[in-house]
Amino acid sequence: MKTFYNLPEKVEFCKICVNSNQYPASIPEWKHDVNRTKANYINFTDGICDGCIQAIKKKEINWKSREEELLILLDKHRKNNGDYDCLVPGSGGKDSVFASIILKEKYGMNPLTVTWPPILYTDYGFQNFKNWLSLGGFDNITYTPSGEAMRKLTKIAIETLLHPFQTFILGQKNLAPKIARNFNLNLVFFGENEAEYGNPVADNYTALRDKSFYSVSNLKNITLAGKTIEELEKNYKLKLSDLRIFLPLIEEETNNNLQVHYLGYYIKWVPQESYYYAVEKTNFKARPFRTEGTYSKYNSIDDKIDDLHHYTRFIKFGIGRATDDAAQEIRNNHITRDEACALVKKFDGELPVRYLSEVLDYLDVDEDYFHKRCDDFRSPHLWIKMNNNWLLRHTVNKDGVDD
Ligand SMILES: [Zn+2]
């Protein structure tokens, strides 16, 4: 059967969690083209996904010796003259609160924090951001890109890739190495490694973020929103100067001493625990309501576009935000697989209506058009239209049309 985006034709669900083999492993966003020709998907071994294999391996990690590795690294970079000694990118969500405060309070570092703000802040997200800086006590650089470029690129990314969050991710991944260079900082800490959620397990044996995620040899083959820079200049009236902040560094501009590390390699990272930590330290507040498309209230709640992002992932890959959350909670022994299956059945793929018209108005996208465009992105091996309804062919609950 025909598949889009190089997705594996046979849909398979993990025996341990609820993830499927249609889960995209992360690649640098500038490699995304319409057909996802450079895409990778999560690896399965004997019916078990790499995310779960990683979780099993994590139980065997000697965290004491990992911490010793961290201390050696920190001592190498520590400055005692009041200057910043490391950079922590974040938005004041639970994970950046955890990373920045543990570095400051437990390990005596002096982090500078850097923020690529959401495309459309939620009130909760903005309050959490302010509390992070005021109660956590951090200096912060917030880099706000041109609203016009952001809006145009986001709109094109929906049209071309059905990917409303791409512009945000680009900034989030590329900004910190640029700011680090400008402030002469050689140490950047991200939180968790994406391998925790399904990148190749081998990626998790290293603390260092691969340079290919934030630098390129030249800008020739790069695409933004699925378009080359030349096309964006020619057809969308965007200038290179509008686009530069969304682009990775060119290798020769990169500080050769720069190291981008995952703190999650050195410190055991449990989402629920970083949530409690953030509540205690910076008065982090979950949203008082459930996030549409899932059952959680505290994961990634600062951008109104985020909910739409997860909805489009459900369209493209057949697995939504409840699948992500439930898979992670199974791996952390918070829920059983049966409970997870029920949560997926109840919430996965729910249309996030709360912010939908506001987001589409902001982007100047007609709602009917948006839904039609979504249908163009449904791969025939995942979806079938019956009686005017789109139905999944395969689900983790085994109640899909072809199960
Ligand atoms: Zn799994």
Quick check: 397 pLDDT over 90? yes
Share of the chain above pLDDT 70, in %: 97
Q: Any idea what the Cα angle at residue 329 is, between residues 382 and 347, rounded to 5°?
A: 45
Gap from CA of 136 to ligand 1 centroid (Å): 35
Burial 176-195 (b: 16+ CB within 10 A, else e): bbbbbeeeebbbbbbbbbbb
pLDDT class for 173, splitting at 50, 70, 90? confident
Gap from CA of 203 to ligand 1 centroid (Å): 17
Q: How far apart are CA 2 and CA 108, in angstroms?
A: 55
Q: Give ion ligand 1 contacts, CB < 5 A.
A: 14, 16-17, 19, 49, 52
pLDDT computed for residue 32 by the predictor: 85
pLDDT computed for residue 209 by the predictor: 77
Gap from CA of 334 to ligand 1 centroid (Å): 14
Over range 367-380, report the average pLDDT.
97
| Ramachandran category for residue 303: left, alpha or beta (phi over 0 → left; psi -120 to 50 → alpha) | beta
Choose among 134, 172, 175, 174: nearest CA to 305. Answer: 172
Gap from CA of 277 to ligand 1 centroid (Å): 26
pLDDT class for 220, splitting at 50, 70, 90? confident
Quick check: 206 pLDDT over 80? no
Gap from CA of 34 to ligand 1 centroid (Å): 27
User: Rounded to 10 degrees, what is the CA torsion of 39, 5, 293, 203?
Assistant: -10
Gap from CA of 10 to ligand 1 centroid (Å): 16
Quick check: 202 pLDDT over 60? no
pLDDT computed for residue 193 by the predictor: 66
Gap from CA of 53 to ligand 1 centroid (Å): 7
Higher per-residue pLDDT: 20 or 80: 20
Gap from CA of 19 to ligand 1 centroid (Å): 5
Gap from CA of 348 to ligand 1 centroid (Å): 17
Q: How far is CA 114 from the centre of its chain?
A: 16
Quick check: 340 pLDDT over 80? yes
pLDDT computed for residue 208 by the predictor: 77
pLDDT computed for residue 267 by the predictor: 93
Quick check: 200 pLDDT over 80? no
Gap from CA of 22 to ligand 1 centroid (Å): 12
The string of pLDDT tens digits covering residues 223-240 is 999 999 999 999 999 999
Where helices occur in 248-320 by DSSP H, the ranges are 263-266, 271-282, 306-317
Whole-model pTM? 0.91
The string of pLDDT tens digits covering residues 74-124 is 999 999 899 999 999 999 888 999 999 999 999 999 999 999 999 999 999
Over range 45-57, report the average pLDDT.
92
Gap from CA of 18 to ligand 1 centroid (Å): 6
Gap from CA of 86 to ligand 1 centroid (Å): 34
Q: How far apart are the first and last CA of the chain?
A: 15
Over range 193-205, report the average pLDDT.
55
Gap from CA of 49 to ligand 1 centroid (Å): 4
pLDDT computed for residue 34 by the predictor: 82
pLDDT computed for residue 255 by the predictor: 80
The string of pLDDT tens digits covering residues 290-311 is 999 999 887 778 889 999 999 9
Gap from CA of 13 to ligand 1 centroid (Å): 8
Instruction: Report the mean per-residue pLDDT for the chain.
Output: 91
Gap from CA of 204 to ligand 1 centroid (Å): 16
Over range 154-171, report the average pLDDT.
93
φ, ψ (nearest 5 deg) of residue 376: -65, -20
Q: How far is CA 31 from the centre of its chain?
A: 16
Over range 145-155, report the average pLDDT.
94
pLDDT computed for residue 215 by the predictor: 87
Over range 322-347, report the average pLDDT.
96
Choose among 367, 371, 400, 360: nearest CA to 383. Answer: 400
